Amino acid sequence: MLTGATLQERRRCPACGAGTERAVHGCGTRTVRVGGVPGLGNDAVNVLCGAVGALAGGAAALLAARTG
Protein backbone atom coordinates (compact mmCIF):
# COMPACT_ATOMS: atom_id res chain seq x y z
CA MET A 1 0.00 0.00 0.00
CA LEU A 2 1.00 3.59 -0.40
CA THR A 3 0.28 4.30 3.25
CA GLY A 4 3.93 4.16 4.23
CA ALA A 5 5.00 6.41 1.38
CA THR A 6 2.30 9.02 1.96
CA LEU A 7 1.22 9.00 5.61
CA GLN A 8 4.22 7.68 7.56
CA GLU A 9 6.17 10.36 9.38
CA ARG A 10 9.40 11.26 7.58
CA ARG A 11 12.33 12.87 9.35
CA ARG A 12 15.69 14.30 8.26
CA CYS A 13 18.92 14.94 10.13
CA PRO A 14 19.84 18.63 9.76
CA ALA A 15 23.51 17.89 10.43
CA CYS A 16 24.18 15.30 7.73
CA GLY A 17 20.99 15.45 5.63
CA ALA A 18 20.18 11.74 5.98
CA GLY A 19 16.55 10.63 5.93
CA THR A 20 15.42 8.56 8.92
CA GLU A 21 12.38 7.60 10.98
CA ARG A 22 14.13 8.14 14.31
CA ALA A 23 13.84 11.24 16.50
CA VAL A 24 17.60 11.20 17.08
CA HIS A 25 19.86 10.20 14.18
CA GLY A 26 22.81 7.84 14.58
CA CYS A 27 25.19 10.82 14.50
CA GLY A 28 23.55 12.10 17.72
CA THR A 29 21.67 15.02 16.16
CA ARG A 30 17.97 15.55 16.83
CA THR A 31 16.03 15.16 13.56
CA VAL A 32 13.26 17.36 12.14
CA ARG A 33 9.96 16.20 10.66
CA VAL A 34 9.78 16.84 6.93
CA GLY A 35 6.51 15.11 6.06
CA GLY A 36 3.81 12.64 6.91
CA VAL A 37 1.52 12.41 9.91
CA PRO A 38 3.30 13.27 13.17
CA GLY A 39 3.75 10.17 15.31
CA LEU A 40 2.66 7.71 12.62
CA GLY A 41 5.63 5.36 12.53
CA ASN A 42 6.39 2.18 10.63
CA ASP A 43 4.77 -0.10 13.24
CA ALA A 44 1.49 1.82 13.08
CA VAL A 45 1.53 1.72 9.27
CA ASN A 46 2.07 -2.05 9.38
CA VAL A 47 -0.89 -2.52 11.76
CA LEU A 48 -3.08 -0.27 9.62
CA CYS A 49 -2.21 -2.14 6.42
CA GLY A 50 -2.75 -5.50 8.10
CA ALA A 51 -6.17 -4.44 9.36
CA VAL A 52 -7.22 -3.15 5.94
CA GLY A 53 -6.05 -6.41 4.35
CA ALA A 54 -7.96 -8.49 6.88
CA LEU A 55 -11.14 -6.47 6.32
CA ALA A 56 -10.80 -6.78 2.56
CA GLY A 57 -10.27 -10.53 2.87
CA GLY A 58 -13.30 -10.88 5.14
CA ALA A 59 -15.47 -8.85 2.76
CA ALA A 60 -14.34 -10.98 -0.17
CA ALA A 61 -15.14 -14.17 1.76
CA LEU A 62 -18.62 -12.90 2.63
CA LEU A 63 -19.30 -11.96 -0.99
CA ALA A 64 -18.09 -15.36 -2.20
CA ALA A 65 -20.29 -17.15 0.33
CA ARG A 66 -23.38 -15.18 -0.75
CA THR A 67 -22.91 -15.81 -4.44
CA GLY A 68 -22.66 -19.46 -3.78
pLDDT in tens, 5-62: 888 999 999 999 999 989 999 999 999 999 999 999 999 999 999 999 999 999 999 9
Measure the CA–CA gap between 68 and 66, rounded to whole angstroms. 5
Cα 43 from Cα 65, distance rounded (Å) = 33
Instruction: Please state, in angstroms and rounded to a whole number, the distance separating the CA atoms of residues 27 and 54.
Output: 39
Q: Kindly report whether the global pTM for this prediction surpasses the value 0.75.
A: no
Is the pLDDT at 1 greater than 70? The verdict is no
Q: Yes or no: say if 40 and 8 are a contact pair by the CB < 8 Å rule.
A: yes
pLDDT of residue 35: 94
Q: Is residue 26 within 8 Å of residue 44, measured between CB atoms?
A: no
Distance of alpha carbon 3 from the chain centroid: 5
